[in-house]
Amino acid sequence: MIVIKSEHELQLMREAGKVCAEIFKGLEDLIKPGISTKDIDDYVEMTCKKHGMKAAEKGYCGYPASVCTSVNDEVVHGIPDKKRKLKEGDIVSCDLVVDNKGYMADACRTYAVGKIDEEAARLMETAERAFFEGVKYAKAGHRLREISKAVQKTVEDEGFGVIRDFVGHGIGSEMHEDPQIPNYVCSGPNPRLQKGMTICIEPMITEGDWEVDILDDDWTAVTVDGGWAAHYENTVVITDSEPEIITL
């Protein structure tokens, strides 16, 4: 069941989205060689608190931190760790969900640590561009699969792989609501989008194959072939006209 949000609910989500955007801005300065992924977690937690909001990932299905920090071949759900120091040339995806009075916004950015190589830069740029190609179809009257198709084409035209094991999703009073939004074309529900729906479009892409393993911490998803991964996500409100991206 897809939940249509009221104007009041959308307002709470927009406020949460602004805090996501503020955090991403702050992370641009924070992320450099030598910091640990736990430093990122502390910053996310502190900034949510400062606004009287909560980092919704903490405790979600037992997840132990306020943000997912996935480095290099880690695709999603990397757990912040003070022993995990970032070094020049790494890339780190920071995926976070802010909860404002029970209503959420979810977004992710991948950051370069110092100077990175050209292939990694192209991977990051492609994940972001795939989001913006997909969101063109996030309009009332369009069907969900048009988003998936645009994302997949953007990624595969660059010779990169699209993760199959994790997908985008609806969001609101729950972090994960219907509909699921795969980043590739497959069978499954293909609803028409309607005003008041709120969705997370989140290309997760790899240099090589899309197959993933889960590490012994039961969370961190890594590529099987060791290729690096990038992830870019925003929460989007379907309106009468243009999509409203609330986490930019």
Interface residues with Co ion (CB under 5 A) are 106, 200, 202
Is 77 a binding residue for ligand MF3 by CB under 6 A? The answer is yes
d(CA 88, CA 39): 16
How many residues bind to ligand MF3 according to rule CB under 6 A? 11
97 is in the binding site of which of Co ion, ligand MF3, none (Cβ under 5 to 8 A by kind)?
Answer: ligand MF3
> How far from 69 is each of 85, 98, 103, CA to CA, in Å?
12, 15, 23
Q: Enumerate residues 141-180 that contact ligand MF3 by CB under 6 A.
A: none
Question: Which one of 6-14, 41-49, 59-67, 154-162 is the stretch in contact with ligand MF3 (CB under 6 A)?
Answer: 59-67
Is 68 a binding residue for ligand MF3 by CB under 6 A? The answer is yes
Specify the residue, 41 or 95, whose C-beta has the smaller distance to ligand MF3.
95
Is 202 a binding residue for ligand MF3 by CB under 6 A? The answer is yes
Q: Which of 6, 50, 52, 60 binds ligand MF3 (CB under 6 A)?
A: 60
Q: Work out the number of other CB atoms within 10 angstroms of the CB of residue 49.
A: 12
Minimum distance of ligand MF3 from residue 138's CB (angstroms): 16
Specify the residue, 120 or 200, whose C-beta has the smaller distance to Co ion.
200
Q: Enumerate residues 90-119 that contact ligand MF3 by CB under 6 A.
A: 95, 97, 106
The answer to whether 61 and 142 are in contact (CB under 8 A) is: no
Chain centroid to Cα 85, Å, comes to: 22
Question: Which one of 32-40, 55-63, 110-118, 240-248 is the stretch in contact with ligand MF3 (CB under 6 A)?
Answer: 55-63
- If you compute the radius of gyration of the chain from its CA atoms, what whole number of angstroms results? 17
Query: Which residues are at the interface with ligand MF3 (CB under 6 A)?
Result: 57, 60-61, 63, 68, 77, 95, 97, 106, 202, 233
